[in-house]
Structure 1
């Protein structure tokens, strides 16, 4: 090999060694539009003229760049539900971390889907925009060299389901601001549509006999758990919130607010039309809608006889709880691992802190509020993360208004204030969610996956740890807590930043059932957390302040 050739190959190797992971670029225009999810025209939020919005289809470790133009008449933010934003809470898209995009302005989100695979979604966190749309699916695939524990499906389908209100998002916000509840939803939707049995409708998906299809399904609703099932077809659960699972077959699945999962469905029935059926769970007024699956070349309508839903009320809670217990992490599957320190051996790590959170509701000055450990969160004018970074946090909020143990009567003496707890970087913590109310709760933590090790009836106490699954609990970002039950999750706080821990029931979130976890690296190093991006929008008391020197 001559010197010129040697030099070329050396330069090539250096280039490859320093190459970044691939980039995906998106330009989104956020606008109002008119749609009729339940048959009644109303204002919805569209992204590039669509609801649901564009699918982000990417691969583990890819870089995502989304330039969002806000053409609404209100400030707007998007969050990336379940995408961990490693070292980068600056673009988490919650009011505690970012200034909202003002009307007529744009902002470019840049983040990496680091060490993740699975099904997630994005949605707006400002005002009651979530009630109007502005959401879409995020599909993160395994890298080509990493085997997936099932054969490649013939096709993948993104399915967003949830409850829907006909009141309109601005009316709903006014209702909550006036101190009242938004009440029960008016119905359900599947990808922004609501069809009943027997109604004429174009098929949503097409099957070819003998082939297997992957449905990625997320509950993007405001408050309602749902059950989904396929007429005439079994389903096989293969992934839940970023974890490959032991592949059990089910007749139907409960999907709680904020949760996502992937199921495989094989076209093994006589060619005709079939329904995907979605029903509400644990609601006073039941709702059931359908979407049509058509076998290629068929013109036979779907049968009007639907597969029955699971039981309701108390028996239904037990049924759903048992389904949760059937989920097991597939530890032999090769995949990106979001919790490298805790993977496989999380049950052997010593717990350094236990935080017990109890939800409650009450009326303060005649207005409805929700709380965690008797503090109802209120966003200050300056995002919490910015106040902390600029060194003016003491002017905007106080840390640790809540203790790690709730007060004896959490419904009394509720305080309305920013709710921020300090956490120690790299500590292994246990969080207990205890639900004394008569409604199901779901909780989500940005920036992390946690191990959902138990959900049990009654009240939690340390001796309940003997019931934990310390072997193969799923690594996930969302957990449901049934009425009169508790849930335990465990995680390593290895992602520095300011992270939203919140109720996924959006009325509760808006009225205070949330908090932020501040995880600061003592070294303030770029190894642990990125510096404030140059493009960051500033507002509140830091709007005119010079930016501090970044991490080194």
Structure 2
């Protein structure tokens, strides 16, 4: 009898071990070779671009909730390089964020393996280079996170799922554009708009079967311009925005601002033929426009009508569209963080931070800089997170060099690292206030936030009466219209060093960004991972012994 019991116990433990191994979240492995190559996307003009595995744009990542993503990036450029994963929240893991405040760049001829997990983030995202002006050369791609089969989404499975990367584009190389900015010049007007790396093509980019419904994931990967997306003769049903299911309103067209992603359902309910997908710039004196062909499978080669659907005009149209976006509170799928903050409107605000964008030319023509609250961020040689982890932050940067409530008028900028010290797990109100005549677009890494209000003028505490405290969409990038403000609410519940930046890349390059340091007081693995063993070292920490690792 004793042997039988031992055998049963052995089988039980063996089965438990096998179940544990099988129960581990799946891994997706990628090897990416980053190189320079020549393309001719605008008017046949050849130019140097960044290719990933020979592709422009780069490969799409097709992941599912809780997948572990492992990407070995080989830098075959002649310049240091990093990639960032826009909107992927990197729980406890700002080491994989791919920004110069958290990572040493991958040197030419070297490689680095990113390893991160996509958690409760069903939705549409993108990746792009974060170093220098590399974003102007390519190196970007789509990243989707699908729902697990056990978690239904609030619409039927589409017949197919298409990624659409739209963005403005310059014919000049990223090196010339960098020289412009370093010499005090703005980038000026882009030369065109690309749709999945092409300005225009007679060959169909996508096909649809009559009567079926398709999902289009649209991301603005550009540098400067907000874009309007529309499909000739078809309605767009918005279903997801930066990882959040939305109330399924139907639109003729949608504004997609720099750094933003959204997903729409399109039903092939028109006469079988070809139709134009149309993308045009917004808020520019001379609009740029690009088209791509969508073909019905039974269209028999009938060409699309040259009469393109008109673009909307004015800022008010776009602002009013924003106000129609609502979070789908009835969806049963996983929700992005703040985890469980379904009733965020009932949570007490512990801190209000007003962030005001500023432009300054200093004392000379070559001193063009952009900043936030009077500080133009400069990346030190030692990444901010490394300095913090090695307990030598005081040798690299100072915390809180800006005030939470800046003066009404800021004329001069100081150039230094801009780091906010944010208490772990506090609920914070951030006001983005834009005093300029141009649109701004801001991204926050590591977290989602609730964009609860967007209005013209200056913010005052009385404006809180107008906040949407019920169903504001949880997202990671938000536009701020000229002479306007936006209020966001969020819980800083993800320990790490997280970048808050302008998505208009010339502004980012010239200092319109900062970092939020969110330290766990326990320094525990429950809250934050240790520095990866394969992390490249640089700056003053190079050659130093690693501090004692965090433990449970």
Which string of whole-angstrom CA distances, capped at 9 and with x for unpartnered residues, describes residues 96-133 of structure 1? 00000000000000000122110000000111000010
Counterpart-to-counterpart distance in 2, 1:223 and 1:15: 52
The answer on whether the counterparts of 2:434 and 2:480 sit within 8 Å (CA) in structure 1 is yes
The 2-side partners of 1:408 and 1:537 are apart by: 42
C-alpha contact (below 8 Å) 1:374/1:407 kept by paired residues: no
1:194 to 2:199 alignment = yes
8 Å contact from structure 1 (residues 25, 66) kept in 2: yes
Q: In the alignment, which residue of structure 1 is the partner of 2:499?
A: 500
Whole-Å Cα distance in 2 between the matches of residues 402 and 36 of structure 1? 44
1:496–1:69 CA distance, 2 compared to 1 (3 A):
same
CA contact (8 A) 2:360 2:412 kept: no
Q: What is aligned with 2:381?
A: 381
Q: CA–CA distance in 1 between the matches of 2:340 and 2:150?
A: 24
Q: Deviations over 1:462-514 (max 9, x none)?
A: 00001100000011001110001100000001000000000000000000100
1:396 match? 396
Q: List per-residue Cα deviations over 1:235-261 (Å, max 9, x = no partner).
A: 100000000001000000000000000
CA contact (8 A) 2:35 2:75 kept: yes
Kindly tell me: are residues 220 and 343 of structure 1, through their superposed partners in 2, closer, same or farther at Cα, counting changes over 3 Å? same
1:500-543 CA-partner distances (Å, limit 9, x unpaired): 00000000000010000000000000000001111111001111
Partner residue in 1 for 2:74: 69
**Are 1:8 and 2:11 an aligned pair?**
yes
CA contact (8 A) 1:337 1:343 kept: no
Secondary structure class of the residue paired with 1:282:
coil
TM-score, normalised via structure 2 length? 0.97
- 1:153 counterpart = 2:152: no
1:440-463 CA distance string (max 9 Å, x none) = 000000000000101011100000
How far, CA to CA, are the matches of 2:393 and 2:113 in structure 1?
26
Moved more, 2-11 or 120-129: 2-11
Provide the rounded CA distance (Å) in 1 between the counterparts of 2:474 and 2:545: 40
Q: Secondary structure at the match of 2:387?
A: helix
**Which residue number in structure 2 is paired with residue 297 of structure 1?**
298
Match of 1:447 in 2: 446
Checking the alignment, whether the CA contact within 8 Å between 2:362 and 2:412 is kept in structure 1 is: no
The match for 1:25 is 29
Please point out which of 100, 104, 108 is paired with 1:99: 104
CA distance in 2, matches of 1:266, 1:66: 35
Query: What's the counterpart of residue 346 of structure 1?
Result: 344
- CA RMSD across the alignment: 1.2
CA–CA separation in structure 1 for the residues paired with 2:543 and 2:8: 55
Query: Counterparts of 2:13 and 2:192 in 1: how far apart (Å)?
Result: 62
Cα displacement (A) at 1:232: 0.7
Match for residue 262 of structure 1? 263
- Give the drift of 1:335: 1.6
- Inter-partner Cα distance in structure 2 for 1:186 and 1:476: 30
The residue that corresponds to 1:88 in the other structure is 93
Deviation of 1:167 (Å): 1.1
Unaligned runs of 5+ in 1: none
Give the whole-Å Cα distance in 2 for the aligned partners of 1:266 and 1:16: 42
Q: Using the alignment, how far apart are the partners of 1:529 and 1:233 within structure 2?
A: 46
Q: In 2, are the aligned partners of 1:238 and 1:262 still within 8 Å (CA)?
A: yes
TM-aligned CA deviation for residue 65 of structure 1: 0.2
Give the Cα separation in 2 of the matches to 1:20 and 1:455: 42
C-alpha distance in structure 1 between counterparts of 2:291 and 2:236, whole Å: 16
Deviations, residues 53-98 of structure 1 (Å, cap 9, x unaligned): 1111011111000000000000000000000000000110001000
2:338/2:447 contact within 8 Å kept: no
Q: What corresponds to 1:234 in structure 2? A: 235
Give 1:323's match in structure 2, choosing from 318, 321, 337.
321
Alignment correspondent of 2:308: 306
Whether the 8 Å contact between 2:25 and 2:68 is mirrored in structure 1 is yes
Contact 1:373-1:402 at 8 Å conserved across structures: yes
TM-score by length of 1: 0.97
> Match of 2:204, SS?
coil
- Unpaired runs of 5+ residues, structure 2, are none
Query: 1:340: Cα distance to partner?
Result: 4.7
SS in 1 for 2:386: helix
Once the two structures are TM-superposed, the CA of residue 6 in structure 1 deviates from its matched residue by 5.8
**2:123 paired with 1:118:** yes
CA distance in 2, matches of 1:456, 1:377: 27
Deviation digits for residues 252-306 of structure 1 (CA, Å, limit 9, x no counterpart): 0000000000000001111100010000000122111100001113210000001
Find the aligned partners of 1:346 and 1:20 in 2 and give their Cα distance. Answer: 32
Q: Secondary structure at the match of 1:304?
A: coil
Match of 1:359 in 2: 357
